[in-house]
Structure 1
Amino acid sequence: MKYTTILPSEELKDLISHFWVCTWDVPLEKPNNTYYVVGSSLAEIVFAFNGNSKSSSFLFSAIQGHTHLANQYPVEGFYHLIGVSFHSYAIPCFFNIPATELNEKFMPLSKFLGNEGTMLNEKFAMASSTEERINMLSDYFKSLLRQPKMEDQLIMKAIKAIKNSNGNSKIEALSQEFGLSQKQFNRRFKEFSGFNPKTYSRVIRFESVIKQHPTTSSLTEIAYENGYFDQAHFNNEFKLFTGFNPKDFWNLSEQNN
């Protein structure tokens, strides 16, 4: 498997984490009939093909919401994916809906976007290169920024504070800092992140662990550095988010690279 990431433009960098391309070797591997999802603060739009050549057929597209649970979805067998990963708090900005509407969702893009999704599918199917498709996606998201959108600058600051602390911020202190009751803070936070503050913090902390490996080979060290009470707590949390224990998850990742 070959996995490549592409950074977004300056205009999109605060809302989009990255574009990405993933390709499997057609002669050596079986087609992928399952789409795996792990806990993530990011939502994704993905386009699937049966290969990575100009003659390859477009198979399907889907939008996957942010989630704190691992899941698996049956799909038409693919060898090539092109996707975009955007922060859950970008959902109100791009689509003018609460982030909660995409929490743990996996659905066809045409169902979510209607005619716009159908048109994107048609353009993707007709495009002749990955670069053209990434530019197409970039232009689409730029166009969304010019439309009316939901905004909550206060909560955006709180979300970024939790991200910057790798999920180790004190939630009660944050709500007091922004002059909100705990109930108000939780409601507004969930609307813009898709998670309640504590769950969002857990997901961000998990993502911090993923980013740190393979900088250290000690799982215990990773756990303590990221605020886990002990190895057992770390293992339980990791299995909830990925469906695997840490060693099996990273062994699987290495096999796929």
Structure 2
Amino acid sequence: MEYNLIPPCKELESHISHFWVCTWDTPLEKPNTTYYVVGSSLSEIVFAFNGNEKNSSFLFSAIQGHTHLANQYPVDEFHHLIGVAFYSYAIPNFFNIPASELNEKFMPLNTFLGKEGILLNEKIETASSTKERIDVLSEYFKSLLNQPKMEDPLITKAIKAIKNGNGNLKIEPLAYDFGLSQKQFNRRFKQYSGFNPKTYSRVIRFESVIKQHPTSSSLTEIAHENGYFDQAHFNNEFKLFTGFNPKDFWSLSDDDI
């Protein structure tokens, strides 16, 4: 399996985390029939193909909402995926709906976007390379920035503060710092992040561990650094977010499953 991340253009970097491409070797690896979802603060749009060649067949597209729960979805057999991952607070900016409406969702792109989804699928299908497909997606999202949108700069700032603090900020003082009651803060926070503040913090903390793991040999040390009280606490959170214990989760990539 080959997995690559591609940064967005400067115009989109405050809304989109990254584009990504994942390819499985067609002759050597069985096609995937399950789409795995792990806990994530990001939402994604993904396009699936039966291979990475120019004439590979387009199979399906879907939008996956941010979630704190692991899940699995049966899909058509695929060997190649192209996706775009965007921050949950960008959902109101892009689609003019509360982020909470996409929480834990996995649905066909046509269902979510209607005619726009059909047109986007056609453009992605007929594009002849990964670069062209990412260009198509970039132009689509740039066009959304010019449309009327929901915005809450104060809450967006709070979301970024929790993210920058790797999920370890105290929530109650944060609400006070922004001049809001806890109830107001929680309501507005969920509208723009899709989570309540404490759940969002837990997801961000989990993501921090995932990012740090390849650079350190001690998973226990990383867990403590990110605010987990003990190994049992960490293991329970990890199982909730991935569906696996840490050892089994990382063995998936080692075995190219």
TM-score range, shorter chain: over 0.9
Residues 143-170 of structure 1: CA deviation (Å, up to 9, x unaligned): 0000000000110111011001000000
Q: Distance in 2 between matches of 1:255 and 1:42?
A: 26
Amino acid at match of 1:187: R
Residues 161-215 of structure 1: CA deviation (Å, up to 9, x unaligned): 1001000000000000011000000000000000000000000000000000122
Three-state SS of the structure 2 residue aligned to 1:81 is strand
Flag structure 1 segments of 5+ consecutive residues without an equivalent. none
- Match in the other structure for 2:125: 125
Q: TM-score of the superposition, structure 2-length normalised? A: 0.99
- Match in the other structure for 2:79: 79
- Match in the other structure for 1:172: 172
Flag structure 2 segments of 5+ consecutive residues without an equivalent. none
Amino acid at match of 1:99: A
Q: Distance in 2 between matches of 1:120 and 1:158?
A: 33
- Match in the other structure for 2:9: 9
Q: Distance in 2 between matches of 1:246 and 1:188?
A: 33
Residues 211-230 of structure 1: CA deviation (Å, up to 9, x unaligned): 00122121210110000010
Three-state SS of the structure 1 residue aligned to 2:179 is coil
- Match in the other structure for 2:53: 53
Residues 1-257 of structure 1 mapped to structure 2, 5 A cutoff? 1-256=1-256
Q: TM-score of the superposition, structure 1-length normalised? A: 0.99
Q: Distance in 2 between matches of 1:254 and 1:95?
A: 37
Amino acid at match of 1:68: H
How far the C-alpha of 1:255 sits from its partner, in A, is 2.1
Q: Distance in 1 between matches of 2:133 and 2:116?
A: 15
Residues 20-49 of structure 1: CA deviation (Å, up to 9, x unaligned): 111000000111000000000000000000
Q: Distance in 2 between matches of 1:214 and 1:231?
A: 19
Task: Select between 213-222 and 20-29 the one with higher mean Cα deviation.
Answer: 213-222
Q: Distance in 2 between matches of 1:134 and 1:100?
A: 26
CA RMSD of aligned residues (A): 0.8
- How many residue pairs get matched? 257
Q: Distance in 1 between matches of 2:253 and 2:159?
A: 29
Three-state SS of the structure 2 residue aligned to 1:121 is helix
Three-state SS of the structure 1 residue aligned to 2:201 is helix
Three-state SS of the structure 2 residue aligned to 1:213 is helix
Q: Distance in 1 between matches of 2:178 and 2:213?
A: 34
Three-state SS of the structure 2 residue aligned to 1:76 is strand
Amino acid at match of 2:162: I
Q: Distance in 2 between matches of 1:203 and 1:192?
A: 15
